[in-house]
Amino acid sequence: MASALYDFLVKQTSIGLRVWVVIGICVIALIVLILTLLPVWIVFRRKTRRKFDKFPVSQIPNVSKEITVDKVGGQSLAQSFHEREGTVTNSHKYSEKDSEKTLAHLAMGKSSEVDTLSQCSSVYHNDRGGSSHSGDEGSSGPSRKAYSSYGLVSASPLVGLPEFSHLGWGHWFTLRDLEYATNRFSKENVLGEGGYGVVYRGRLINGTEVAVKKLLNNLGQAEKEFRVEVEAIGHVRHKNLVRLLGYCIEGIHRLLVYEYVNNGNLEQWLHGAMRQRGVLSWDNRIKIILGTAKALAYLHEAIEPKVVHRDIKSSNILIDDEFNAKISDFGLAKLLGSGKSHVTTRVMGTFGYVAPEYANTGLLNEKSDVYSFGVLLLESVTGRDPVDYGRPANEVNLVEWLKLMVASRRAEEVVDPSLEEKPATRALKRALLISLRCVDPDSEKRPKMGQVVRMLEADEVPYREDRRTRRGQIGSMDIESLRENSGSVDLDNKVGASDSEGRTSQRFQA
């Protein structure tokens, strides 16, 4: 048998070569052919996958936060606003170029790495946390200028999750992971539904509680929301900003995974379901407001480009079990590069919170957030909705009503009647003064959020000192007495001196 095989192999073929030589040549040729065709096949597969990702979608109706408003309570707002998105003044061409960068960064179809990676991803904040990004030149997200004074926290790793360090700041989830976490996006796990998606409560495989936002199945809008959120907060860490833990891109699906914040939101505490748990105390209101102010100061003054949230309102202020505020919902955020005074954009936001100049002109900068913050503060002090059509005509608009009350020396009457323990006179005056400054119709006159933080922090001491004598001691107040009685606050001069980095150097003194 063996000798027969040997005889066959050494046999001379008609082309003059022995059989074993011919077989050897054929095997080598086959190997070369396979090596040549393999890359072609890989390229073909990539193209097929990209096509899949571009499937038309949008069975779900477009929900827009675009505002169409009228004149309410004397506040003149534009009647309707149309698409001007992306027209950036001062040559701040952020959106297109940087978004592409982010797309590549997120492996969403522009990068050659896309297809070598899993289609689904999860952001993982590793030990280096945001600080690893401050030097991330390739990133389109904001980087940090300052740390400690803005209440930054370092992110801890999510133990037990698959790690994917390709982006330097994330793991990658699959849709399956998130289906598992949310019990297949069951109704019982729905936390709420916003303009752009449904938010589910979930638990990751390692036990971490999360909130999963499933963006509406409208690829254009979902894609935009998705990018904006990731660009705005993917790189930043602050104890008063909700932490973005991950995301998933799979086919037409876009999901964002956040830390779960377990104690409702400010809107629910002031006007909704959480009231069943008791009245939110003055102390906790101020704590929430201060946390919100710190996060905004960070977004406006500590990172580059600065982030304008654009939708500051009570339902976007999440609350944890220690009554710390966490700003959420960055889907409308805009980035503002250094030296850029504003961007021009479609007017978005929530009625009652939108700054008049932004509503009227579409010109946006961080002072629009300051206005919304002022409304939020008034809402917290009074327990009233920013716009409430159930009230008499002159009370429908909260800001206008507050001005009327102060002008007629009835400021003490504006405090939320449901508060069991009323604030001290001085604390109430401070809060009203700050809010009035924030809602100044002239955006230039509004304080920076860093100044607001200092004013609020300065308020803590006198507020605590007076606490013992607070009940029923709020006297008659008007704007002048608010000014006179507000300690050493010189609203026009002293507060607001800025250092070279634009941060206030003058402390607000009690």
Which residues line the annotated binding site?
214
Using the rule CB under 6 A, is 211 a contact of ligand ATP? Answer: yes
Q: Is 222 exposed, middle or buried (0-12, 13-18, 19+ CB in 10 A)?
A: buried
Q: Which residue, 266 or 436, is less far from ligand ATP as judged by CB?
A: 266
Kindly state whether residue 191 participates in binding ligand ATP, applying the rule CB under 6 A: yes
Q: What is the DSSP string of 247-304?
A: EEEETTEEEEEEE---S-BHHHHHHSGGGGG-PPPHHHHHHHHHHHHHHHHIIIIIEE
User: What Rg, from alpha-carbon coordinates, does the chain have?
Assistant: 29
Question: Which residue bears the tokens 């500590």?
Answer: 302
274 or 491: CB nearest ligand ATP: 274
250: β partners: 253
Q: Counting contacts by CB under 6 A, is residue 496 touching ligand ATP?
A: no
Catalytic (active site) residue 311 = yes
Give the interface segment with ligand ATP, choosing from 96-104, 291-299, 312-320, 398-406 (CB under 6 A).
312-320
Residue 313 vs 437, nearer CB to ligand ATP: 313
Tell me whether residue 318 or residue 433 sits nearer to ligand ATP (CB atom): 318
Nearer to ligand ATP, 314 or 425 (CB): 314
Cα angle 211, 216, 221 (rounded to 5 degrees) comes to 115
Residue 80 CB, nearest distance to ligand ATP (Å)?
Answer: 18
- 127-131-133-135 Cα dihedral, nearest 10 degrees: -130
6 by DSSP, 3-state: which?
helix
Q: Does 401 bind ligand ATP (CB under 6 A)?
A: no
Minimum gap (Å) between residue 255 Cβ and ligand ATP: 12
325-327/317-319 β-pairing: antiparallel
**Under the criterion CB under 6 A, does residue 192 sit at the interface with ligand ATP?**
yes
What residues pair up with 348 in beta bridges, in sequence order? 66
Q: Which of 98, 177, 311, 369 is catalytic?
A: 311
Using the minimum distance from each CB to ligand ATP, give the nearer residue, 197 or 423: 197
234 CB-contact burial (10 Å; exposed 0-12 / middle 13-18 / buried 19+): buried
Stretch that binds ligand ATP, among 6-14, 80-88, 255-263, 439-447 (CB under 6 A): 255-263
Helices (H), 396-470: 398-407, 425-438, 449-466
Give the three-class secondary structure for 504: strand
258 binds ligand ATP (CB under 6 A): yes
State in angstroms the smallest separation of the CB of 174 from ligand ATP: 20
- Per-residue binding string, ligand ATP, 361-400, x by CB under 6 A, is ----------------------------------------
* Count of residues engaged in binding ligand ATP, rule: CB under 6 A: 20
Distance CA 417, CA 412 (A): 11
Burial call 462-475: b when 16+ CB within 10 Å, e when fewer: bbeeeeeebeeebe
* Member of 266, 318, 427, 434 binding ligand ATP (CB under 6 A): 318
Binding positions for ATP: 214
Judged by the rule CB under 6 A, the positions of this chain that interact with ligand ATP are 191-192, 194-195, 197, 199, 211, 213, 242, 258-261, 265, 311, 315-316, 318, 328-329
Catalytic site positions: 311
